[in-house]
């Protein structure tokens, strides 16, 4: 998130409203062959808009000074903000204005704080289980059209035994 002095309270309120209506907050576990655990957590804020009307996404990107705008093949454009620190700082700045996704935002901030401190390799099994629980709580609050992994499947990917 850019310096707070360059963004107004009204800008933050507008961006939070955009997130509430046309955005999603995600915590995912991605399989990775190039890591020692074979997986990594990924935190993302994503704002969506029809590509014919993508100017607000560029405006938001300029205000928050992070993320990237990209056009998808289906006529939609996304502003994606990735990374535990950037996601946490952005959500903390928007939090007082978020209405409908406040629960997901608070959960994602908690997960990002835990993940900022350590790598997946250095997380203990108790903390990994907590992060999996946060991931599932966030998913349960979101509308998702495709199948999700169960707690057991996520634990299995992370090598956590019951």
Chunked mean pLDDT (size 10), the chain, 162 residues = 72 97 94 72 96 95 96 96 97 98 97 86 86 93 76 89 69
- The pLDDT value given to residue 137: 93
Question: How is the chain split into domains, by residue range?
Answer: 4-157
What confidence score (pLDDT) does residue 143 get? 74
Give the pLDDT score at 5.
Answer: 53
DSSP string, 126-148: HHHHHHHHHHHHHHHHS---S--
Tokens of 57: 């996404």
Predicted local confidence at residue 148, as pLDDT: 80
Q: What angle do CA 24, 30, 34 make, to 5 degrees?
A: 145
User: Topology of 4-157 in CATH?
Assistant: Endonuclease I-creI (3.10.28)
CB 58 within 8 A of CB 69: yes
């Amino acid at each position: 998130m850019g310096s707070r002095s360059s963004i107004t309270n009204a800008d933050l309120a507008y961006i939070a409203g955009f997130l509430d209506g046309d955005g999603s907050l995600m915590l995912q576990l991605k399989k990775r062959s190039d890591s020692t655990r074979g997986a990594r957590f990924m935190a993302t804020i994503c704002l969506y808009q029809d590509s014919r009307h993508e100017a607000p996404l560029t405006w938001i990107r300029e205000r928050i000074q992070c993320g990237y705008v990209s056009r998808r093949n289906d006529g939609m454009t996304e502003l994606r903000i990735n990374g535990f620190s950037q996601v946490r700082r952005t959500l903390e700045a928007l939090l007082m204005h978020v209405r409908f996704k406040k629960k997901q935002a608070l959960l994602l901030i908690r997960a990002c704080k835990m993940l900022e401190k350590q790598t997946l390799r250095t997380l203990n099994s108790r903390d990994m289980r907590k992060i999996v629980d946060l991931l599932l709580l966030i998913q349960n609050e979101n509308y998702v059209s495709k199948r999700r992994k169960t707690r057991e499947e996520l634990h299995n990917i992370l090598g956590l035994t019951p």
